[in-house]
Structure 1
Amino acid sequence: MKSFLWQTVSSILFLTAFSTTATAVVVAELKDPSWESVSNIIAQIDPPVFPERDFLVTDFGGIGDGSTDCLAAFQAAIAECAKAGGGRVVAPAGRWLVKGPIHLESNVNLHLEKDSTIAFSTNPQDYLPVVLTRFEGTELMNYSPLIYAFEKENIAVTGEGVLDGQAGESRWWNWKGHWGGADETGWKRGDSDQIEDVAKLCKLADDGVPPRERIFGADHYLRSSFIQPYRSKRVLIEGVKIVNSPMWVINPVLSSNVTIRGVTVDSHGPNNDGCDPESCRNVLIENCIFNTGDDCIAIKSGRNVDGRRLATPSENIIVRGCTMKDGHGGVVLGSEMSGGIRNIFVEDCQMDSPNLERAIRLKSNSLRGGYLENLFVRNIDVGEVSEAIVSINLQYWGESGEFFPTVRNIFIENVTSQKSKYPLYLVGLPEEPIDFVYLKNCKFYNAAQPSIIEHVDHMYFQDVSQPR
């Protein structure tokens, strides 16, 4: 790999010799989309609105003592709320145990008052019967997510309370198997894990088996997401704290007009991504805190054959005012992105932890394919990351195939970091180089090593430095 070290770049710098016409192309790409697109996207996001009616779970037999199963009370309150035309289903202060998933209906806002906690069962059998969901970007019939909505509209999870998946006290995390170089989940040699099921699911998808015939659930070991609106519209998740998720935490799939605001995610299990919009359109993620065991925010669009079958990109997504602590990446695109990702805007975020590996991360390979285009990043304050401030890796996981991913139009502006291994780690493919990467007004302090850049076409720096 080639390494590049710069000290100060006060004007646009060509890393290799390109014609001046390439600069004009970069300027053209800024017009549509550009940062001016953000207001248009916001205008298209139509947040849910609910009648001023409350349905307290205590009125339906719920007891917040932490030991009484309140699932039936939540189900009854949700049904009555939906029947009445909508409103809030309210969990007052207390600890509300539910032995099974909460399924939302249209026009229902699940609201947690201050000092309330909804604690979910740790028994996977409580999440049957199976529902249509996704596991790592592939559709299947599996255990229900803990909070699930299928083809619903005008739904929300709000409040000042806590959603506790209790996954650290259960077998959920164990199903990952050998993780992180140590048996960190309590898994021991000979215990069941997800490895065979993951391979089976991928083969079913590759063979074209319809999703509703890919039946897992009982006697299988594929974990569920925590909150998953599936094929839903006008979704709001606001204010709550979410801890101890079985797997991905907030995972809207094939949904539109999604707002995630003021949420705190503190979940350090395997694959505990904080927020994973998959094949979603018009999404706003703002003023959230992520402290996770995997990527903080990871934007996705389906895996391999299944992602190409649905061919639904994630697009028009805004991330702003968020704080990222532990995680594999702050804002991430990929790796399950076979349906494509485009028009992503990230601004005014803080990222800082010795356990945060990267700030901005794009990952794919030639087995997954797809495209990642039009990423705009500005005003990012990075304290410390353990690897790169900006990482693009198109040789992710060592997988290869015949679907070379396209990555182009990456604009990074006003990013300052205090400590990292590399400023940039950009590794494309010889068959499909990364194309058009533009950095402006960036300062990467105390980087231990120079950047690594391989197979990148049309890269430009303006006022970029690596001070010591």
Structure 2
Amino acid sequence: MKRETIVNFLINAVVFGLILMLCSCKAGAQDFNSDKVWQKADAIIENITVPEFPERTFNVSDFGAVADGVTDNTEAFKKAINACNAQGGGKVLVPAGKYVTGPIHLKSNVNFHLVEGAEILFSKDKSAYLPMVHTSYEGMELMNYSPLIYAYGQKNIAVTGKGIFNGQANNENWWPWAGKDEYGYKEGQPKQHDDKNLPRLRQMVADGVPVEERVFGEGNQLRPTFFEPFECENILIEGVTFTNAPFWIIHPIKSNNITVDGVTVRSHGPNNDGCDPEYSRNVNIKNSLFDTGDDCIAIKSGRNNDGRRVNIPSENIVIENCEMADGHGGVVMGSEISAGVRNVFVRNCRMDSPNLDRAIRIKTNTIRGGFVDGVYVKDLQVGQVKEAVLKINTYYAIYDNQEGNYIPEIRNIFLENVQVENGGEYGLLIKGREQSPVQNVRLKNVSIKSTKVPLNIENCEPVIFLNTTINGKEY
């Protein structure tokens, strides 16, 4: 082949390649959040195993439970659960009435079912939550008080029904340990930020101390989670109400195949996140109401060295047909995010409260590190939020010294068909890092009718807007 022919061929190939690239960029800009994306969400849901149970019923009354609001039913519940498990599974039935109990430990193939009118009142006696179990606090594993409802290494478990789980936490029980005046703390009382508590746990994590040696519990002030399936498979939480939680409320950790359906969470205590999947995958949260003292839904994957040690991203999480009222954020990724989060889908949700700070939020820093790759939001209705419709913050800090060597990576954040009446202070508030700018943020068919500052963006690739208006101006 002649030299001139080769040169012409190469030039034509380069030009053709550039044309293809430009066409694909244009198509991509116009076609993000395509049907294919939401088909993936549907496929995730279809592949989640929802537990089913034999048609056997174990009425807790037959095991000595008394619904008088006074009697301790811990042993009666335990006997009913053990019997159900031993006979191959079924439904542990809690009739109407008020039942006081210590922690409830679920076992495989057990559906713990509260009929309408049943209310579980969890004991205010801290010693009831001993002996300690393997659990987690703010993304750090430890030995601590048992969660109020707990399962470890179980398969096919459920809590269902129309009843109420009442943690009985308040300004005199559990909440003062947060160390905040509004939650009953008085100067001089022990609190979670004392050196023997969170600072000691954080140091143990930094030093790589084995989990079994991170012993807390009695004499310490780290509150238990409400419902924690730990290393479990096939979990169903359906219909029930959670209220007055000590700490995080629904916290599946290192678990797979999780369905939260028709649940009501109304709890305004400190760190009262509604649902926090952590190191978990294949999750469907639907038809539920979150009215909380902290984030409504917060997807997590471990804190600092613990997240990097475990190294299990949270992924394949579909949130749909939910309502978010009060809370720090509607759907949040972080701040315990060191192992990363990918493939989060949010659709057909409504967020509306003067006490809801943000709609969609991602928070991390260079001690947490981690990544977020793929957040897809569609058909979202926002009445009002305080701070921002979308907030991405890679400088998140509550404690001092939140700067380290783990640069977070955040990419592929898509919002489509989002209608906002009052966006608060900011439409988009994005704070990326110069070393790692936020990548590929796209808005399509988004309308923010009112916000004080439409865009406050640093260290982010140019945001792509398609048919998007903020304060009446098209972007």
Q: Normalising by structure 2, what TM-score?
A: 0.91
| Counterpart in the other structure of 1:15 | none
Distance 2:254 2:34 in 1: 28
Task: Check the 8 A contact 1:74/1:102 in 2, yes or no.
Answer: yes
User: Quick one: higher RCO (CA 8 Å, sep 6+), 1 or 2?
Assistant: 1
Measure how far apart 1:461 and its partner are: 0.2
SS across alignment from 2:218: coil
| Partner residue of 1:464 out of 449, 464, 468 | 468
Is 1:184 the counterpart of 2:182? The answer is yes
Measure how far apart 1:30 and its partner are: 6.0
Is 1:47 the counterpart of 2:50? The answer is yes
| Counterpart in the other structure of 2:441 | 437
| Counterpart in the other structure of 1:75 | 78
Matching residue's letter, 2:40: S
| Counterpart in the other structure of 1:455 | 459
| Superimposed CA distance per residue, residues 379-431 of structure 1 (whole angstroms, 9 cap, x where no aligned partner) | 00000111101111111017211001000000100111111221111111111
Distance 2:337 2:35 in 1: 22
Task: Check the 8 A contact 1:26/1:436 in 2, yes or no.
Answer: no
SS across alignment from 2:468: strand
Distance 1:27 1:221 in 2: 52
| Counterpart in the other structure of 1:348 | 348
Pairing 1:61-460 to 2, within 5 Å after superposition: 61-98=64-101, 100-168=102-170, 170-178=172-180, 183-195=181-193, 196=195, 197-397=197-397, 399-419=402-422, 420-460=424-464
Distance 1:324 1:238 in 2: 17
| Counterpart in the other structure of 1:36 | 39
Distance 1:148 1:410 in 2: 34
Measure how far apart 1:458 and its partner are: 3.8
| Counterpart in the other structure of 2:18 | none
Of 390-399 and 48-57, the range deviating more from structure 2: 390-399
Structure 1: which 5+ residue stretches go unaligned? 1-17
Aligned residue pairs: how many? 446
Task: Check the 8 A contact 1:301/1:337 in 2, yes or no.
Answer: yes
Distance 2:380 2:207 in 1: 43
Distance 2:93 2:171 in 1: 26
SS across alignment from 2:336: coil
Measure how far apart 1:317 and its partner are: 0.2
Measure how far apart 1:42 and its partner are: 1.2
SS across alignment from 1:350: strand
| Superimposed CA distance per residue, residues 28-58 of structure 1 (whole angstroms, 9 cap, x where no aligned partner) | 9868982220121112101001001111110
Task: Summarize the Cα distance change of 1:435–1:32 in structure 2 as closer, same or farther, 3 Å threshold.
Answer: farther
Task: Check the 8 A contact 2:171/2:185 in 1, yes or no.
Answer: no
SS across alignment from 1:330: strand
Measure how far apart 1:233 and its partner are: 0.0
SS across alignment from 2:353: coil
Matching residue's letter, 1:80: A
Measure how far apart 1:169 and its partner are: 5.3
Distance 2:219 2:27 in 1: 58
Distance 1:220 1:454 in 2: 41
Q: Which has the larger radius of gyration?
A: 2
Task: Check the 8 A contact 1:22/1:458 in 2, yes or no.
Answer: no
Measure how far apart 1:22 and its partner are: 5.4
Task: Check the 8 A contact 1:122/1:169 in 2, yes or no.
Answer: no
| Counterpart in the other structure of 1:8 | none
CA RMSD of aligned residues (A): 1.7
Distance 2:415 2:379 in 1: 9
Q: Normalising by structure 1, what TM-score?
A: 0.93
SS across alignment from 1:328: strand
Task: Summarize the Cα distance change of 1:365–1:27 in structure 2 as closer, same or farther, 3 Å threshold.
Answer: farther
| Superimposed CA distance per residue, residues 6-26 of structure 1 (whole angstroms, 9 cap, x where no aligned partner) | xxxxxxxxxxxx988755676
Pairing 1:3-18 to 2, within 5 Å after superposition: none
SS across alignment from 1:359: strand
Measure how far apart 1:171 and its partner are: 2.9
Matching residue's letter, 1:166: Q
Task: Check the 8 A contact 2:49/2:257 in 1, yes or no.
Answer: yes
Distance 1:461 1:265 in 2: 35
Task: Check the 8 A contact 2:248/2:273 in 1, yes or no.
Answer: yes
Distance 1:82 1:29 in 2: 47
SS across alignment from 2:248: coil
Measure how far apart 1:450 and its partner are: 2.5
| Superimposed CA distance per residue, residues 96-129 of structure 1 (whole angstroms, 9 cap, x where no aligned partner) | 000x210000000000000000000112221011
Distance 2:247 2:54 in 1: 33
| Superimposed CA distance per residue, residues 118-142 of structure 1 (whole angstroms, 9 cap, x where no aligned partner) | 0001122210111001100011000
Distance 2:330 2:204 in 1: 32
Task: Summarize the Cα distance change of 1:374–1:277 in structure 2 as closer, same or farther, 3 Å threshold.
Answer: same
Structure 2: which 5+ residue stretches go unaligned? 1-20
Distance 2:333 2:125 in 1: 32
Distance 1:250 1:97 in 2: 20
Matching residue's letter, 2:95: P
Measure how far apart 1:448 and its partner are: 2.1
Distance 2:449 2:354 in 1: 15
| Counterpart in the other structure of 1:14 | none
Distance 1:158 1:300 in 2: 25
Matching residue's letter, 1:376: Y
